[in-house]
Copies of this chain bind each other. A is one copy, B any other.
């Protein structure tokens, strides 16, 4: 959705004169973005050494500013909403874009909650004394400059900006062009907070316009200034960032989330966890998408589970066994096992025990979140060990796949990559570390 149309449009508008204006526009945005990157890098050095109290003061002051400037934010949002309506966007899109007093208050409270979290910077992660008397500490330090590319949710401006600030990172934000005015108004409040705490404004900066070139410039790393990019949005955005970014990315492309009901599963528990995993919210990445039932308990467990899903308004696509279990089940295709519905649909099948379940998940899964339901401790241990996903659960809803539910006090995203961050990316994962070595004149023989 970030590709194509607008760039083509720009070229069309200018092709009858000369291509130079296009190049110029691009160069201007590029230069502006690289300048923002350089400023962010400088700000990151200040932030990295800022004491906790100063960062928290900025967050609390920003919360105050959000409340004080609510009218400005709503006016800016009204402009974005009017433009979106004029373009005839879908109602789900409008809902994500729209702000009201309640959502502004929720943002303000979010900032205060982040202020109340412990400072991750400076935490001693490990400490060891060597035989020669050297004391070596591994200490958490900020990553540096975090780029956040998001779509139409303007509240990401506050959430992501605050998480970066608290973790001592500078943030470069690039919100969707649809929420440009809303995001700018929210960022102005964050800047109020930074000023109140005498922190550099560049600690939380934003692309200067809604120009699409800003995204390309960020994917290229802002001239070496960006340490990591976090995309927040739909599949097409994440896919583009993952394939084009020249800097590390914290992201997940999709959550093909499995619930495996083992032969030793308690049926009542399994039903409750399954329905919650699938139906609590169907549009979140931790929502269950596949049900695997152990052949050994299919005769007792499959029909009631499928019925519960159907009775709760979930369409079920299944293998022959699932279709036998209930006439409302339709036939699942091979594609169904690879599809993230993000809707009230699930694919269900019988598998030949734990090994087959693990094999299915490793073949079709997305290494996001997977769950086993069983009263057999050994089976659970094997599943938790052998399923190679960021989050593996035993007897608990997959909808717990969330930084808040993990106690991280917020998350900037969920990562399924294997480098640095995996699972919910909270304050701790927005940090790297360094080694501090304390000596008394030691030399190496």
Contacts and interface: CB of A to CB of B under 8 A. Distances in A.
Interface of A: 45, 48-49, 122, 128, 130, 134, 136, 141, 143-144, 227-228, 248, 266, 269, 272-273, 275-276, 280, 362, 380, 384-386, 388-397, 399-400, 405-407, 418-420, 422-423, 432-444
A428 to B, nearest CB: 9
A127 to B, nearest CB: 12
Highest count of chain B CB atoms <10 Å: which of A122, A400, A407, A440: A400
B388 A437 contact: no
A45 B362 contact: yes
Contacts of A395: 438-442
Main DSSP-derived SS at the A contact region: mixed
Contacts of A134: 396, 400
B423 A420 contact: no
A400 B436 CA distance: 12
Nearest to A130: B407
A273 B441 CA distance: 6
Nearest to A268: B441
28 contacts: A48-B388, A122-B385, A128-B406, A130-B406, A130-B407, A134-B400, A144-B418, A227-B418, A228-B419, A269-B440, A273-B441, A273-B442, A273-B443, A276-B443, A276-B444, A392-B434, A393-B439, A395-B442, A396-B439, A397-B439, A397-B443, A400-B437, A405-B444, A418-B432, A419-B420, A420-B420, A422-B433, A423-B435
Given A136-B407, A392-B434, A396-B439, 20 more contacts: A48-B386, A48-B388, A134-B396, A227-B418, A228-B419, A269-B440, A272-B443, A273-B441, A273-B442, A280-B443, A384-B436, A392-B435, A392-B436, A395-B438, A395-B442, A396-B438, A400-B439, A406-B435, A422-B433, A422-B435
A394 B269 contact: no
Contact of A439 (B266, B394, B433, B436): B394
